[in-house]
Amino acid sequence: MTTAVRLQNIHKRFGALEVLRGITLEAQEGEVLSLLGSSGSGKSTLLRCINMLEIPNDGDVWVAGEAVKFRAGRQGQSRTVDTAQIDRLRSRIGMVFQSFNLWPHLTILENVIEAPIHVLKRPRSECIQEARDLLERVGIGDKAQYYPAHLSGGQQQRAAIARALAMHPNLMLFDEPTSALDPELVGGVLRVIRSLAEEGRTMLVVTHEMAFARDVSSRVIFLHKGEVEADGPPEDVFTNSSSPHFQQFLGREARTE
Amino acid sequence: MNLEFIGQTLVTLLAGIPITLELAALAIAGGALLGFAIALMRLSQHPFLYVSAWLYVQIIRSTPLLVLLFLIYYGLGQFSALRSSFLWPVLKQAYWCAVIALVINGSAFAAEIFRGGLLSVGRKEVEAARACGMSGILLYRRIVFPLAIRQALPAYSNEMVAMVKATSLASLVTLMDVTGIAASIASSTYQPIPVFVAAGAIYLLINTLLTRAVRALEYRLTPHLRPAQYATASAVTEAGVTPT
Protein backbone atom coordinates (compact mmCIF):
# COMPACT_ATOMS: atom_id res chain seq x y z
CA MET A 1 0.00 0.00 0.00
CA THR A 2 1.17 3.49 -0.74
CA THR A 3 0.63 6.52 1.41
CA ALA A 4 -1.94 8.99 0.08
CA VAL A 5 -1.46 11.63 2.75
CA ARG A 6 1.06 12.06 5.51
CA LEU A 7 0.91 14.81 8.10
CA GLN A 8 3.85 15.21 10.45
CA ASN A 9 3.60 17.25 13.64
CA ILE A 10 1.14 19.82 12.25
CA HIS A 11 0.64 23.00 14.24
CA LYS A 12 -1.83 25.69 13.31
CA ARG A 13 -2.49 28.89 15.20
CA PHE A 14 -5.05 31.60 14.59
CA GLY A 15 -3.60 34.50 16.53
CA ALA A 16 -3.16 33.35 20.10
CA LEU A 17 -5.45 30.35 19.61
CA GLU A 18 -3.63 27.11 18.87
CA VAL A 19 -6.10 25.02 16.88
CA LEU A 20 -3.82 22.13 15.97
CA ARG A 21 -1.18 21.06 18.47
CA GLY A 22 1.16 18.70 16.72
CA ILE A 23 -0.91 16.28 14.68
CA THR A 24 0.68 13.30 12.99
CA LEU A 25 -1.49 11.24 10.71
CA GLU A 26 -1.19 8.94 7.72
CA ALA A 27 -3.78 7.72 5.26
CA GLN A 28 -3.05 4.85 2.90
CA GLU A 29 -4.53 4.65 -0.56
CA GLY A 30 -8.02 3.21 -0.49
CA GLU A 31 -8.60 4.11 3.14
CA VAL A 32 -11.66 6.02 4.29
CA LEU A 33 -10.89 8.09 7.38
CA SER A 34 -13.61 9.71 9.44
CA LEU A 35 -12.47 12.70 11.45
CA LEU A 36 -14.61 13.18 14.53
CA GLY A 37 -14.54 15.74 17.28
CA SER A 38 -16.65 18.39 18.91
CA SER A 39 -16.78 21.82 17.32
CA GLY A 40 -13.52 23.66 17.80
CA SER A 41 -11.51 20.47 18.01
CA GLY A 42 -9.64 21.40 14.82
CA LYS A 43 -10.95 18.72 12.47
CA SER A 44 -11.95 21.08 9.64
CA THR A 45 -8.72 23.01 9.99
CA LEU A 46 -6.79 19.76 9.77
CA LEU A 47 -8.61 18.83 6.57
CA ARG A 48 -7.89 22.27 5.12
CA CYS A 49 -4.20 21.88 5.93
CA ILE A 50 -4.05 18.98 3.47
CA ASN A 51 -4.84 21.11 0.41
CA MET A 52 -3.30 24.26 1.91
CA LEU A 53 -6.51 26.23 2.23
CA GLU A 54 -4.88 26.72 5.62
CA ILE A 55 -1.11 26.81 5.75
CA PRO A 56 0.15 25.09 8.89
CA ASN A 57 2.50 27.18 11.02
CA ASP A 58 4.70 24.19 11.62
CA GLY A 59 5.00 20.59 10.46
CA ASP A 60 5.25 18.75 7.16
CA VAL A 61 2.69 17.56 4.66
CA TRP A 62 3.06 14.90 1.98
CA VAL A 63 0.41 14.30 -0.65
CA ALA A 64 0.77 11.24 -2.90
CA GLY A 65 4.39 10.92 -1.83
CA GLU A 66 5.22 14.51 -2.72
CA ALA A 67 6.35 16.85 0.06
CA VAL A 68 4.68 20.25 0.15
CA LYS A 69 7.42 22.86 -0.11
CA PHE A 70 7.15 25.54 2.56
CA ARG A 71 9.08 28.77 2.60
CA ALA A 72 9.72 30.61 5.83
CA GLY A 73 7.52 33.68 6.12
CA ARG A 74 8.82 37.12 6.84
CA GLN A 75 9.21 38.25 10.42
CA GLY A 76 6.09 37.39 12.37
CA GLN A 77 4.26 36.03 9.33
CA SER A 78 3.35 32.46 8.64
CA ARG A 79 4.97 30.30 6.02
CA THR A 80 4.14 30.48 2.35
CA VAL A 81 3.89 27.82 -0.31
CA ASP A 82 4.84 27.49 -3.94
CA THR A 83 1.69 28.42 -5.86
CA ALA A 84 2.48 26.28 -8.89
CA GLN A 85 3.05 23.18 -6.76
CA ILE A 86 -0.05 23.80 -4.68
CA ASP A 87 -2.23 24.34 -7.75
CA ARG A 88 -0.97 21.05 -9.17
CA LEU A 89 -1.57 19.14 -5.93
CA ARG A 90 -5.00 20.73 -5.44
CA SER A 91 -6.05 19.70 -8.93
CA ARG A 92 -5.65 16.09 -7.76
CA ILE A 93 -7.45 16.56 -4.44
CA GLY A 94 -11.22 16.82 -4.59
CA MET A 95 -12.81 18.94 -1.89
CA VAL A 96 -16.45 19.01 -0.85
CA PHE A 97 -17.47 21.88 1.42
CA GLN A 98 -20.06 22.13 4.15
CA SER A 99 -22.01 24.81 2.26
CA PHE A 100 -21.40 23.37 -1.24
CA ASN A 101 -19.61 26.50 -2.58
CA LEU A 102 -20.92 26.04 -6.11
CA TRP A 103 -20.37 28.96 -8.48
CA PRO A 104 -23.76 30.66 -8.57
CA HIS A 105 -23.48 32.20 -12.05
CA LEU A 106 -22.77 28.88 -13.78
CA THR A 107 -25.21 26.07 -14.45
CA ILE A 108 -24.69 22.75 -12.72
CA LEU A 109 -23.10 21.33 -15.87
CA GLU A 110 -20.85 24.38 -16.22
CA ASN A 111 -19.84 24.03 -12.58
CA VAL A 112 -18.73 20.47 -13.23
CA ILE A 113 -16.79 21.14 -16.45
CA GLU A 114 -15.19 24.42 -15.33
CA ALA A 115 -12.02 23.11 -13.72
CA PRO A 116 -11.43 20.11 -16.04
CA ILE A 117 -11.48 22.48 -19.02
CA HIS A 118 -9.56 25.40 -17.57
CA VAL A 119 -7.22 23.74 -15.07
CA LEU A 120 -6.61 20.35 -16.69
CA LYS A 121 -7.03 21.76 -20.23
CA ARG A 122 -9.09 18.80 -21.36
CA PRO A 123 -11.27 19.00 -24.48
CA ARG A 124 -14.65 20.56 -23.84
CA SER A 125 -16.81 17.91 -25.52
CA GLU A 126 -15.12 15.12 -23.57
CA CYS A 127 -15.65 17.04 -20.29
CA ILE A 128 -19.33 17.61 -21.05
CA GLN A 129 -19.90 13.94 -21.77
CA GLU A 130 -18.17 12.92 -18.60
CA ALA A 131 -19.95 15.58 -16.55
CA ARG A 132 -23.32 14.25 -17.72
CA ASP A 133 -22.34 10.74 -16.64
CA LEU A 134 -21.20 12.02 -13.25
CA LEU A 135 -24.40 14.00 -12.70
CA GLU A 136 -26.35 10.89 -13.62
CA ARG A 137 -24.34 8.91 -11.16
CA VAL A 138 -25.01 11.28 -8.24
CA GLY A 139 -28.68 11.27 -9.17
CA ILE A 140 -29.18 14.74 -10.65
CA GLY A 141 -28.79 14.00 -14.35
CA ASP A 142 -31.91 16.03 -15.07
CA LYS A 143 -30.53 19.15 -13.35
CA ALA A 144 -27.57 19.82 -15.67
CA GLN A 145 -29.04 23.03 -17.10
CA TYR A 146 -30.22 24.45 -13.79
CA TYR A 147 -28.41 26.99 -11.68
CA PRO A 148 -27.33 26.13 -8.12
CA ALA A 149 -29.94 28.47 -6.59
CA HIS A 150 -32.67 26.39 -8.24
CA LEU A 151 -31.63 23.16 -6.50
CA SER A 152 -32.21 21.87 -3.00
CA GLY A 153 -29.28 21.68 -0.62
CA GLY A 154 -28.96 17.95 -1.12
CA GLN A 155 -28.91 18.33 -4.90
CA GLN A 156 -26.36 21.13 -4.64
CA GLN A 157 -24.10 18.99 -2.50
CA ARG A 158 -24.36 16.12 -4.99
CA ALA A 159 -23.45 18.57 -7.76
CA ALA A 160 -20.45 19.65 -5.70
CA ILE A 161 -19.40 16.00 -5.36
CA ALA A 162 -19.69 15.59 -9.14
CA ARG A 163 -17.59 18.73 -9.60
CA ALA A 164 -14.87 17.25 -7.39
CA LEU A 165 -15.01 13.85 -9.16
CA ALA A 166 -14.67 15.49 -12.58
CA MET A 167 -11.04 16.26 -11.74
CA HIS A 168 -10.25 12.53 -11.33
CA PRO A 169 -8.86 13.14 -7.84
CA ASN A 170 -6.52 10.73 -6.07
CA LEU A 171 -7.93 11.91 -2.77
CA MET A 172 -11.28 13.29 -1.68
CA LEU A 173 -11.75 15.63 1.27
CA PHE A 174 -15.24 16.08 2.72
CA ASP A 175 -15.70 18.93 5.18
CA GLU A 176 -18.93 18.18 7.08
CA PRO A 177 -20.76 17.46 3.81
CA THR A 178 -24.17 16.95 5.39
CA SER A 179 -24.11 19.49 8.23
CA ALA A 180 -25.86 22.23 6.25
CA LEU A 181 -28.62 19.95 4.97
CA ASP A 182 -32.19 19.46 6.11
CA PRO A 183 -32.43 16.08 7.87
CA GLU A 184 -34.47 14.46 5.09
CA LEU A 185 -31.79 15.31 2.50
CA VAL A 186 -28.85 13.87 4.44
CA GLY A 187 -29.48 10.25 3.42
CA GLY A 188 -29.18 10.84 -0.32
CA VAL A 189 -25.85 12.60 0.00
CA LEU A 190 -24.48 9.98 2.39
CA ARG A 191 -25.46 7.23 -0.06
CA VAL A 192 -23.39 8.92 -2.75
CA ILE A 193 -20.40 9.27 -0.43
CA ARG A 194 -20.77 5.66 0.67
CA SER A 195 -20.77 4.48 -2.95
CA LEU A 196 -17.51 6.37 -3.52
CA ALA A 197 -16.00 4.67 -0.48
CA GLU A 198 -17.09 1.31 -1.82
CA GLU A 199 -15.23 1.78 -5.09
CA GLY A 200 -12.01 2.08 -3.11
CA ARG A 201 -11.40 5.80 -3.21
CA THR A 202 -9.15 7.41 -0.66
CA MET A 203 -11.27 9.77 1.41
CA LEU A 204 -11.03 11.90 4.52
CA VAL A 205 -14.43 12.81 5.89
CA VAL A 206 -15.06 15.32 8.66
CA THR A 207 -18.48 14.32 9.93
CA HIS A 208 -20.98 14.27 12.76
CA GLU A 209 -22.78 11.27 11.30
CA MET A 210 -21.79 8.56 13.77
CA ALA A 211 -23.54 5.75 11.90
CA PHE A 212 -21.70 6.73 8.72
CA ALA A 213 -18.35 6.83 10.54
CA ARG A 214 -19.00 3.45 12.11
CA ASP A 215 -20.22 1.67 8.98
CA VAL A 216 -18.30 3.21 6.12
CA SER A 217 -14.89 4.29 7.33
CA SER A 218 -11.92 2.02 7.60
CA ARG A 219 -10.46 4.22 10.34
CA VAL A 220 -11.82 6.72 12.80
CA ILE A 221 -9.76 9.60 14.14
CA PHE A 222 -11.03 11.47 17.17
CA LEU A 223 -9.62 14.96 17.72
CA HIS A 224 -9.80 16.76 21.00
CA LYS A 225 -8.45 20.30 21.46
CA GLY A 226 -6.16 20.01 18.48
CA GLU A 227 -4.69 16.61 19.29
CA VAL A 228 -5.43 13.07 18.13
CA GLU A 229 -7.07 11.27 21.06
CA ALA A 230 -8.13 8.09 19.31
CA ASP A 231 -7.14 6.50 16.02
CA GLY A 232 -8.13 3.07 14.82
CA PRO A 233 -10.72 0.89 13.09
CA PRO A 234 -14.26 2.03 13.99
CA GLU A 235 -15.10 -1.12 15.94
CA ASP A 236 -12.08 -0.59 18.20
CA VAL A 237 -12.53 3.13 18.68
CA PHE A 238 -16.29 3.05 19.24
CA THR A 239 -16.27 0.10 21.63
CA ASN A 240 -12.91 0.12 23.39
CA SER A 241 -11.70 3.69 23.36
CA SER A 242 -10.24 4.59 26.71
CA SER A 243 -10.49 8.31 25.99
CA PRO A 244 -12.97 9.85 28.42
CA HIS A 245 -13.39 12.78 26.02
CA PHE A 246 -14.52 10.43 23.28
CA GLN A 247 -17.12 8.85 25.57
CA GLN A 248 -18.40 12.33 26.50
CA PHE A 249 -18.44 13.28 22.82
CA LEU A 250 -20.44 10.16 21.91
CA GLY A 251 -22.90 10.93 24.67
CA ARG A 252 -23.45 14.46 23.41
CA GLU A 253 -23.80 13.31 19.79
CA ALA A 254 -26.31 10.62 20.80
CA ARG A 255 -28.46 13.23 22.54
CA THR A 256 -28.52 15.53 19.52
CA GLU A 257 -29.24 12.80 16.98
CA MET B 1 -41.23 78.73 -31.24
CA ASN B 2 -41.87 77.03 -34.54
CA LEU B 3 -41.68 73.32 -35.18
CA GLU B 4 -39.93 73.73 -38.49
CA PHE B 5 -37.03 75.49 -36.78
CA ILE B 6 -36.77 72.72 -34.17
CA GLY B 7 -36.81 70.15 -36.96
CA GLN B 8 -34.01 71.90 -38.85
CA THR B 9 -32.01 72.26 -35.68
CA LEU B 10 -32.37 68.57 -34.90
CA VAL B 11 -31.05 67.67 -38.34
CA THR B 12 -28.08 70.00 -37.91
CA LEU B 13 -27.38 68.57 -34.47
CA LEU B 14 -27.27 65.03 -35.90
CA ALA B 15 -23.84 65.92 -37.27
CA GLY B 16 -22.59 66.18 -33.70
CA ILE B 17 -23.80 62.75 -32.65
CA PRO B 18 -20.82 60.77 -33.97
CA ILE B 19 -18.34 62.81 -31.96
CA THR B 20 -20.52 62.68 -28.86
CA LEU B 21 -20.79 58.91 -29.18
CA GLU B 22 -17.07 58.55 -29.84
CA LEU B 23 -16.18 60.57 -26.78
CA ALA B 24 -18.67 58.62 -24.67
CA ALA B 25 -17.50 55.22 -25.94
CA LEU B 26 -13.80 56.01 -25.45
CA ALA B 27 -14.50 57.50 -22.02
CA ILE B 28 -16.56 54.51 -20.90
CA ALA B 29 -14.14 51.91 -22.25
CA GLY B 30 -10.99 53.74 -21.12
CA GLY B 31 -12.50 54.65 -17.78
CA ALA B 32 -13.53 51.05 -17.16
CA LEU B 33 -10.10 49.63 -18.01
CA LEU B 34 -8.15 52.20 -15.99
CA GLY B 35 -10.72 52.01 -13.20
CA PHE B 36 -10.39 48.23 -13.03
CA ALA B 37 -6.62 48.50 -12.71
CA ILE B 38 -7.00 51.10 -9.97
CA ALA B 39 -9.56 48.96 -8.15
CA LEU B 40 -7.06 46.07 -8.18
CA MET B 41 -4.39 48.40 -6.81
CA ARG B 42 -6.76 49.59 -4.09
CA LEU B 43 -7.34 45.98 -3.03
CA SER B 44 -3.71 44.87 -3.18
CA GLN B 45 -1.69 44.12 -0.06
CA HIS B 46 1.10 46.39 -1.16
CA PRO B 47 1.05 49.69 0.83
CA PHE B 48 2.46 51.81 -2.00
CA LEU B 49 -0.12 50.47 -4.47
CA TYR B 50 -3.19 50.92 -2.33
CA VAL B 51 -2.17 54.28 -0.89
CA SER B 52 -1.43 55.73 -4.32
CA ALA B 53 -4.67 54.31 -5.74
CA TRP B 54 -6.64 55.73 -2.80
CA LEU B 55 -5.01 59.13 -3.28
CA TYR B 56 -5.76 59.09 -7.01
CA VAL B 57 -9.42 58.28 -6.42
CA GLN B 58 -9.77 60.97 -3.73
CA ILE B 59 -8.17 63.68 -5.85
CA ILE B 60 -9.88 62.89 -9.14
CA ARG B 61 -13.28 62.30 -7.58
CA SER B 62 -13.16 65.65 -5.84
CA THR B 63 -11.95 67.69 -8.83
CA PRO B 64 -14.56 69.05 -11.24
CA LEU B 65 -14.24 67.47 -14.66
CA LEU B 66 -14.19 70.93 -16.24
CA VAL B 67 -11.22 71.96 -14.11
CA LEU B 68 -9.40 68.79 -15.12
CA LEU B 69 -10.22 69.40 -18.78
CA PHE B 70 -8.97 73.02 -18.66
CA LEU B 71 -5.83 71.90 -16.87
CA ILE B 72 -5.08 69.42 -19.63
CA TYR B 73 -6.17 71.58 -22.56
CA TYR B 74 -4.79 74.97 -21.45
CA GLY B 75 -2.23 73.86 -18.91
CA LEU B 76 -0.10 71.17 -20.59
CA GLY B 77 1.07 73.53 -23.33
CA GLN B 78 2.96 75.55 -20.69
CA PHE B 79 5.61 72.87 -20.49
CA SER B 80 8.10 73.25 -23.29
CA ALA B 81 9.49 69.77 -22.68
CA LEU B 82 6.05 68.39 -23.40
CA ARG B 83 5.59 70.57 -26.46
CA SER B 84 8.74 69.10 -27.98
CA SER B 85 7.95 65.52 -26.96
CA PHE B 86 6.39 62.83 -29.13
CA LEU B 87 3.17 63.20 -27.13
CA TRP B 88 2.48 66.70 -28.36
CA PRO B 89 0.82 65.78 -31.68
CA VAL B 90 -1.80 64.02 -29.56
CA LEU B 91 -1.98 66.44 -26.65
CA LYS B 92 -2.33 69.55 -28.79
CA GLN B 93 -5.64 68.28 -30.13
CA ALA B 94 -8.73 69.30 -28.18
CA TYR B 95 -10.31 65.94 -29.03
CA TRP B 96 -7.66 63.89 -27.23
CA CYS B 97 -7.52 66.34 -24.32
CA ALA B 98 -11.25 65.77 -23.85
CA VAL B 99 -10.86 61.98 -24.10
CA ILE B 100 -8.03 61.98 -21.55
CA ALA B 101 -9.96 64.17 -19.11
CA LEU B 102 -13.08 62.01 -19.43
CA VAL B 103 -11.12 58.77 -19.02
CA ILE B 104 -9.28 60.02 -15.94
CA ASN B 105 -12.46 61.36 -14.37
CA GLY B 106 -14.45 58.24 -15.19
CA SER B 107 -11.73 55.90 -13.96
CA ALA B 108 -11.94 57.23 -10.39
CA PHE B 109 -15.67 56.54 -10.18
CA ALA B 110 -15.33 53.21 -12.00
CA ALA B 111 -12.57 52.19 -9.57
CA GLU B 112 -14.88 52.64 -6.60
CA ILE B 113 -17.70 50.72 -8.27
CA PHE B 114 -15.42 47.84 -9.30
CA ARG B 115 -13.83 47.75 -5.86
CA GLY B 116 -17.29 47.23 -4.39
CA GLY B 117 -17.98 44.53 -6.97
CA LEU B 118 -14.72 42.71 -6.25
CA LEU B 119 -15.31 42.88 -2.50
CA SER B 120 -18.74 41.35 -2.96
CA VAL B 121 -17.29 38.14 -4.39
CA GLY B 122 -17.77 35.47 -1.74
CA ARG B 123 -14.91 33.74 0.03
CA LYS B 124 -16.64 30.42 -0.56
CA GLU B 125 -16.71 30.66 -4.33
CA VAL B 126 -13.06 31.69 -4.37
CA GLU B 127 -12.10 28.87 -2.02
CA ALA B 128 -13.88 26.34 -4.21
CA ALA B 129 -11.91 27.60 -7.20
CA ARG B 130 -8.63 27.43 -5.30
CA ALA B 131 -9.43 23.89 -4.16
CA CYS B 132 -9.74 22.93 -7.85
CA GLY B 133 -6.26 24.27 -8.59
CA MET B 134 -7.11 27.75 -9.84
CA SER B 135 -5.05 30.76 -8.83
CA GLY B 136 -3.85 34.11 -10.10
CA ILE B 137 -5.13 35.28 -13.46
CA LEU B 138 -7.13 32.11 -14.17
CA LEU B 139 -9.01 32.50 -10.87
CA TYR B 140 -9.73 36.15 -11.64
CA ARG B 141 -10.71 35.56 -15.22
CA ARG B 142 -13.00 32.60 -14.63
CA ILE B 143 -14.56 33.20 -11.20
CA VAL B 144 -13.79 36.51 -9.51
CA PHE B 145 -14.28 38.89 -12.41
CA PRO B 146 -17.49 37.30 -13.78
CA LEU B 147 -19.04 37.47 -10.30
CA ALA B 148 -17.78 41.02 -9.63
CA ILE B 149 -19.04 42.40 -12.94
CA ARG B 150 -22.54 41.08 -12.26
CA GLN B 151 -22.52 42.92 -8.97
CA ALA B 152 -21.05 46.13 -10.37
CA LEU B 153 -23.04 46.46 -13.59
CA PRO B 154 -26.18 48.19 -12.24
CA ALA B 155 -24.08 50.84 -10.48
CA TYR B 156 -21.80 51.18 -13.47
CA SER B 157 -24.74 51.88 -15.78
CA ASN B 158 -25.36 55.09 -13.79
CA GLU B 159 -21.75 56.00 -14.33
CA MET B 160 -22.10 55.41 -18.08
CA VAL B 161 -25.08 57.76 -18.26
CA ALA B 162 -23.12 60.38 -16.34
CA MET B 163 -20.25 59.92 -18.79
CA VAL B 164 -22.48 60.50 -21.84
CA LYS B 165 -23.68 63.75 -20.33
CA ALA B 166 -20.18 64.76 -19.32
CA THR B 167 -19.02 64.65 -22.95
CA SER B 168 -20.92 67.93 -23.46
CA LEU B 169 -18.12 69.70 -21.59
CA ALA B 170 -15.88 68.98 -24.57
CA SER B 171 -17.74 71.76 -26.40
CA LEU B 172 -15.97 74.22 -24.09
CA VAL B 173 -12.63 73.28 -25.62
CA THR B 174 -13.82 73.93 -29.21
CA LEU B 175 -15.18 70.45 -30.06
CA MET B 176 -18.30 70.44 -32.20
CA ASP B 177 -20.23 67.70 -30.48
CA VAL B 178 -24.01 67.91 -30.04
CA THR B 179 -23.69 70.61 -27.39
CA GLY B 180 -21.00 72.47 -29.34
CA ILE B 181 -23.18 72.70 -32.46
CA ALA B 182 -26.20 73.65 -30.36
CA ALA B 183 -24.28 76.48 -28.71
CA SER B 184 -23.20 77.89 -32.06
CA ILE B 185 -26.73 77.72 -33.51
CA ALA B 186 -28.12 79.35 -30.40
CA SER B 187 -25.70 82.23 -30.55
CA SER B 188 -26.32 82.90 -34.25
CA THR B 189 -30.14 82.59 -34.12
CA TYR B 190 -30.80 83.98 -30.64
CA GLN B 191 -33.21 81.12 -30.01
CA PRO B 192 -31.59 79.20 -27.17
CA ILE B 193 -34.71 77.42 -25.92
CA PRO B 194 -35.66 75.34 -28.99
CA VAL B 195 -32.00 74.65 -29.76
CA PHE B 196 -31.10 73.35 -26.33
CA VAL B 197 -34.37 71.46 -25.99
CA ALA B 198 -33.48 69.67 -29.22
CA ALA B 199 -29.98 68.97 -27.90
CA GLY B 200 -31.42 67.66 -24.65
CA ALA B 201 -33.74 65.36 -26.59
CA ILE B 202 -30.74 63.81 -28.36
CA TYR B 203 -29.00 63.07 -25.04
CA LEU B 204 -32.26 61.62 -23.73
CA LEU B 205 -32.45 59.31 -26.72
CA ILE B 206 -28.81 58.19 -26.42
CA ASN B 207 -29.14 57.50 -22.72
CA THR B 208 -32.42 55.67 -23.13
CA LEU B 209 -30.83 53.32 -25.65
CA LEU B 210 -27.75 52.94 -23.46
CA THR B 211 -29.66 52.04 -20.31
CA ARG B 212 -31.83 49.61 -22.28
CA ALA B 213 -28.73 47.92 -23.64
CA VAL B 214 -27.19 47.61 -20.19
CA ARG B 215 -30.43 46.21 -18.79
CA ALA B 216 -30.47 43.62 -21.58
CA LEU B 217 -26.87 42.67 -20.80
CA GLU B 218 -27.69 42.44 -17.11
CA TYR B 219 -30.63 40.18 -17.89
CA ARG B 220 -28.44 37.89 -19.97
CA LEU B 221 -25.80 37.68 -17.25
CA THR B 222 -28.14 36.87 -14.38
CA PRO B 223 -30.36 33.91 -15.27
CA HIS B 224 -29.36 32.42 -11.91
CA LEU B 225 -31.26 35.18 -10.12
CA ARG B 226 -34.53 34.35 -11.84
CA PRO B 227 -36.95 31.53 -11.06
CA ALA B 228 -35.89 28.27 -12.69
CA GLN B 229 -38.51 28.23 -15.46
CA TYR B 230 -37.18 31.55 -16.85
CA ALA B 231 -33.54 30.74 -16.35
CA THR B 232 -32.61 27.43 -17.87
CA ALA B 233 -32.92 27.78 -21.64
CA SER B 234 -30.97 30.96 -22.41
CA ALA B 235 -28.18 30.23 -20.00
CA VAL B 236 -26.87 27.19 -21.72
CA THR B 237 -26.57 28.72 -25.15
CA GLU B 238 -24.74 31.68 -23.64
CA ALA B 239 -21.93 29.48 -22.42
CA GLY B 240 -21.77 27.63 -25.69
CA VAL B 241 -22.84 24.35 -24.19
CA THR B 242 -25.03 22.40 -26.51
CA PRO B 243 -28.05 20.89 -24.79
CA THR B 244 -28.61 17.27 -25.60
**ipTM confidence score:** 0.92
**Residue A58 belongs to a domain:** no
Q: Over 50: is that where the pLDDT of A240 sits?
A: yes
Q: Over 50: is that where the pLDDT of A48 sits?
A: yes
Q: Does A85 touch chain B (CB under 8 A)?
A: no
Are A106 and A188 in contact by the 8 Å Cβ rule? The answer is no
Percentage of chain B modeled with pLDDT above 90? 77
Number of domains into which chain A is organized: 1
Put simply, the chain A residues between 44 and 63 with a CB less than 8 A from any chain B CB are 51, 53
Q: Does A156 touch chain B (CB under 8 A)?
A: no
Q: Does B131 touch chain A (CB under 8 A)?
A: yes
Predicted confidence band of residue B237 (pLDDT cuts 50, 70, 90)? very low
**Residue A125 belongs to a domain:** yes
Q: Over 60: is that where the pLDDT of B238 sits?
A: no
Q: Over 80: is that where the pLDDT of B62 sits?
A: yes
Q: Does B235 touch chain A (CB under 8 A)?
A: yes
Percentage of chain B modeled with pLDDT above 70? 94
**Domains, chain B, ranges and CATH?**
3-238 (1.10.3720.10)
**Residue A131 belongs to a domain:** yes
Q: Does A108 touch chain B (CB under 8 A)?
A: no
How much is the average pLDDT of B41-62? 94
CB contact under 8 Å between A104 and B129, yes or no, is: no
A59: left (phi over 0), alpha (psi -120 to 50) or beta: left
Q: Over 90: is that where the pLDDT of A136 sits?
A: yes
> What rounded mean pLDDT belongs to chain B?
90
Q: Does B123 touch chain A (CB under 8 A)?
A: no
How much is the average pLDDT of B91-118? 95
Q: Which of A74-88, A133-147, B69-83 has the lowest average pLDDT?
A: A74-88
* CATH code of A234's domain: 3.40.50.300
Pick from B128, B147, B235: CB nearest A145:
B235
B129/B148 Cα distance (integer angstroms): 15
Distance of CA A16 to the CA centre of its chain: 26
Over residues A151-186, the pLDDT tens digits come to: 999 999 999 999 999 999 999 999 999 999 998 899
Q: Which of A58-62, A102-106, B73-77, B198-202 has the lowest average pLDDT?
A: B73-77
A197/A206 Cα distance (integer angstroms): 14
CB contact under 8 Å between B131 and A53, yes or no, is: yes
Q: Does A102 touch chain B (CB under 8 A)?
A: yes
Amino acid B87: pLDDT? 81
Phi, psi of A241, rounded to the nearest 5 degrees: -60, 135
Predicted confidence band of residue B244 (pLDDT cuts 50, 70, 90)? very low
How much is the average pLDDT of B215-219? 93
Amino acid B233: pLDDT? 45
Q: Over 50: is that where the pLDDT of A231 sits?
A: yes
Shortest alpha-carbon distance between residue A162 and chain B (Å): 12
For residue A115, list chain B residues with Cβ-Cβ distance below 8 A. Answer: 129, 132-134
B144/B138 Cα distance (integer angstroms): 9
Q: Over 70: is that where the pLDDT of B235 sits?
A: no
- Helix axes of A124-137 and A108-118: crossing angle, nearest 10 degrees: 130
Amino acid A256: pLDDT? 67
**Residue A11 belongs to a domain:** no
Q: Over 80: is that where the pLDDT of B159 sits?
A: yes
Taken in order B19, B68, B29, B85, the sign of the CA dihedral is: positive
Amino acid B88: pLDDT? 85
Q: How many CB atoms lie within 10 A of CB B216?
A: 10
CB contact under 8 Å between A119 and B127, yes or no, is: no
**Residue A178 belongs to a domain:** yes
Mutate one of B132, B143, B149 to test the A interface: name it (highest A CB count within 10 A).
Answer: B132
B31/B39 Cα distance (integer angstroms): 12
Amino acid A75: pLDDT? 63
Pick from A51, A87, A150: CB nearest B231:
A150
Q: Does A140 touch chain B (CB under 8 A)?
A: no
Task: Give Cβ neighbours of residue A10 (< 8 Å, ≥ 6 apart).
Answer: A20, A22, A23, A24, A25, A46, A49, A56, A58, A59, A61
Percentage of chain A modeled with pLDDT above 70? 97
Q: Which of A10-19, A22-31, A87-96, A235-244 has the lowest average pLDDT?
A: A235-244
**Residue A139 belongs to a domain:** yes
**Residue A123 belongs to a domain:** yes
CB contact under 8 Å between B138 and A118, yes or no, is: yes
How much is the average pLDDT of B132-152? 94
How much is the average pLDDT of B41-48? 92
For residue A118, list chain B residues with Cβ-Cβ distance below 8 A. Answer: 134, 138, 142
**Residue A244 belongs to a domain:** yes
Predicted confidence band of residue B1 (pLDDT cuts 50, 70, 90)? low
Q: Does B47 touch chain A (CB under 8 A)?
A: no
Range of the domain at A150: 30-46+83-256
Amino acid B76: pLDDT? 86
For residue B244, list chain A residues with Cβ-Cβ distance below 8 A. Answer: 132
CB contact under 8 Å between A91 and B132, yes or no, is: yes
CB contact under 8 Å between B131 and A95, yes or no, is: yes
Task: Give Cβ neighbours of residue B54 (< 8 Å, ≥ 6 apart).
Answer: B42
